């Protein structure tokens, strides 16, 4: 569960919180470690993506670019690698939510 403190035009995003499903939080954190590497789509992932809708593929690619860049920037600044991973996991939760919303909006 990512936290946020917003008022009017001002938006302040907080860290990931310990509320919600601990298993889901652990999976997000484990998945965030993969953003250490350069963004790419392997053969197996390309084959799986063939059946997906275009908006979902574009959100996923945008997530890969943004989160890999965020990991590199935070790591380059000297932030501890565990904190970097949790920061990336927090943003990853937002992208997962966006894909779920895009999937619900599609006609079946």
Task: Compute the 3-state secondary structure of the chain and give helix, strand, coil in percent, each to the nearest 5.
Answer: 65, 10, 25
pLDDT of residue 78 exceeding 60, the answer is yes
pTM over 0.75: yes
Alpha carbons 71 and 77: distance in angstroms, whole number: 10
**pLDDT confidence bin for 1, thresholds 50/70/90:** low
Top mean pLDDT of 14-18, 21-25, 77-81 is at: 77-81
Give the C-alpha separation, 56 to 77, whole Å.
Answer: 31
Q: Does residue 16 have a pLDDT over 90?
A: no
Cα–Cα–Cα angle for 34, 36, 42, nearest 5°? Answer: 55
Residue 56 three-state SS: helix
CA 43 to chain centre: 21
In whole angstroms, what is the distance from residue 57 CA to residue 65 CA? 12
On the question of pLDDT at 13 being above 80, the answer is no
């Amino acid at each position: 569960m990512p936290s946020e403190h917003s008022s009017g035009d001002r938006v302040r995003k907080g860290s990931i919180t310990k509320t919600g499903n601990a298993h889901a939080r652990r999976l997000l954190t484990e998945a965030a470690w993969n953003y250490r590497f350069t963004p790419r789509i392997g053969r197996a992932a390309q084959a799986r993506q063939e059946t997906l809708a275009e908006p979902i593929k574009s959100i996923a690619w945008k997530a890969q670019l943004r989160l890999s860049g965020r990991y590199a920037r935070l790591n380059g600044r000297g932030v501890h690698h565990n904190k970097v991973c949790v920061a990336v996991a927090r943003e990853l939760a937002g992208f997962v939510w966006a894909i779920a919303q895009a999937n619900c909006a599609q006609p079946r």
